[in-house]
């Protein structure tokens, strides 16, 4: 199968490309050429810019399918489909689990649960608009391609090369010798899905030509935050006051818990693997060690954690 990947230079896109190549598909990558430029020798690369609407490099080409990893606002999807003259047999769009309306959603959330209202007026991406913008992207896909469109809604994606370093933070902290600062509410649900499982799901959706939406989450049912951290190592966990949102894999309050009780039944039926949490943790740790454990971009700094631990531990 000849597949065009819009994006593909980092994390989720990178693993999708790896998986498709492993399965023997022919790929073309379309991007600005700024990330992942040293990856995938021999794979054709086309340069363009979705922000400016530059899809000129796609002219004169035809692909069997498209995987859209870099569409964040509805204009991106609309313009890509226009540039491709609506020719792809299957267009897989990587959306997000944050399209669901947590105030209306039942437990567990399924692919037919209520979504947020789409955002059509703004292209500014922040915590408030990210989900609604992805809803609008999904709506464009459905309106333009109908059953030729497929939507993947990942939750928190983790594993080797993760950009947000959410799991990496806990893996590294729990592997240390000293106590680890943790938030007070350790029984909150957490769903993290291995990036390699998401990639394999996308491959199966293309190969089986499956329409519809699919929640790419795991594990199901969710583990607690305490269980996840303890799976990362044997460090002593010290609940601390303050800094709640500085901890990776946490959200503001209990109203978000429903967002981590999402059903992955449809994705598993479509072929998404169930990589164990322990395997994901081991792979993440190996990658972090291989890259030399650089300073983390997320979570508490060493200094902040030390301050919180000093205040929490008996004197």
pTM for this one?
0.96
Domain co-membership, 178 together with 298: yes
pLDDT of 87 reads 74
Domain co-membership, 176 together with 132: no
CA quadruple 114, 125, 68, 260: dihedral positive or negative?
negative
Whether the per-residue pLDDT at 279 is higher than 90: the answer is: yes
What average pLDDT does the segment 179-195 reach?
Answer: 96
Q: For residue 262, name the pLDDT band (cuts at 50, 70, 90).
A: very high
Domain extent for 285 = 163-189+224-259+276-312
Per-residue pLDDT of 22-58, as tens digits, reads 999 999 999 998 888 889 999 999 999 999 999 999 9
Is residue 51 in a domain? yes
Residue 172 · residue 211 · CB < 8 Å: no
Domain co-membership, 244 together with 139: no
Whether the per-residue pLDDT at 116 is higher than 90: the answer is: yes
How far apart CA 159 and CA 15 sit, in angstroms, is: 10
Residue 234 · residue 192 · CB < 8 Å: no
Domain co-membership, 238 together with 108: no
Residue 202 · residue 261 · CB < 8 Å: no
Per-residue pLDDT of 232-261, as tens digits, reads 999 999 999 877 778 999 998 899 999 999
Residue 111 · residue 95 · CB < 8 Å: no
Is residue 241 in a domain? yes
Q: The CATH number of the domain where 21 resides is what?
A: 3.40.50.720
How far apart CA 283 and CA 279 sit, in angstroms, is: 6
Domain co-membership, 63 together with 152: yes
Per-residue pLDDT of 59-97, as tens digits, reads 989 999 999 999 999 999 999 999 998 777 899 999 999
Among residues 284, 184, 283, which one has the least CA distance to residue 241? Answer: 184
Among residues 50, 45, 49, which one has the least CA distance to residue 72? Answer: 50
Q: For residue 177, name the pLDDT band (cuts at 50, 70, 90).
A: confident
Domain co-membership, 132 together with 249: no
Domain co-membership, 48 together with 169: no
pLDDT of 99 reads 98
Percent of the chain with pLDDT over 70: 100
Domain co-membership, 168 together with 254: yes
How many domains are contained in the chain?
2
pLDDT of 228 reads 97
Domain co-membership, 182 together with 137: no
Query: Residue 256 is encoded by which pair of tokens?
Result: 């978000």
pLDDT of 241 reads 87
What average pLDDT does the segment 94-113 reach?
Answer: 96
Is residue 239 in a domain? yes
Is residue 264 in a domain? no
Domain co-membership, 137 together with 168: no
Domain co-membership, 84 together with 199: yes
Residues 6+ apart with CB under 8 A from 178: 235, 236
């Amino acid at each position: 199968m000849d597949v065009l990947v819009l994006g593909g230079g980092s994390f989720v896109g990178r693993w999708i490309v790896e998986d498709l190549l492993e399965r023997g598909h022919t790929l073309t990558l379309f991007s600005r050429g700024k990330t992942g430029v040293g990856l995938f020798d021999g794979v054709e690369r086309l340069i363009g810019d979705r922000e400016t609407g530059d899809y000129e490099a796609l002219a004169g080409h035809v692909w069997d399918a498209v995987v859209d990893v870099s569409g964040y606002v509805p204009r991106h999807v609309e313009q890509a489909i226009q540039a491709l003259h609506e020719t792809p047999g299957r267009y897989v769009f990587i959306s997000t689990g944050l399209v669901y309306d947590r105030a209306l959603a039942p437990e567990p959330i399924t692919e037919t649960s209520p979504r947020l209202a789409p955002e059509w007026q703004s292209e500014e991406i922040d915590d408030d608009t990210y989900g609604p913008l992805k809803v609008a992207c999904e709506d464009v896909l459905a309106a333009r391609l109908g059953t030729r469109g497929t939507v993947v809604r990942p939750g928190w994606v983790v594993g080797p090369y993760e950009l947000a370093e959410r799991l990496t933070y806990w893996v590294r902290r729990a592997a240390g010798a000293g106590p680890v600062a943790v938030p007070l509410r350790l029984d909150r649900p957490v769903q993290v899905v291995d990036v390699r499982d998401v990639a394999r799901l996308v491959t199966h959706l293309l190969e089986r030509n499956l329409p519809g939406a699919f929640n790419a989450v795991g594990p199901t049912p969710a583990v607690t935050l305490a269980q996840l951290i303890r799976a990362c190592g044997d460090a002593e966990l010290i609940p601390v006051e303050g800094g709640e949102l500085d901890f990776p894999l946490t959200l503001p309050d209990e109203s978000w818990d429903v967002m981590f009780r999402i059903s992955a039944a449809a994705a598993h039926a479509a072929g998404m693997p169930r990589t164990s949490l322990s395997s994901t943790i081991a792979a993440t740790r190996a990658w972090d060690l291989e890259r030399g454990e650089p300073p983390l971009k997320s979570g508490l700094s060493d200094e902040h954690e030390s301050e919180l631990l000093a205040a929490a531990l008996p004197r």
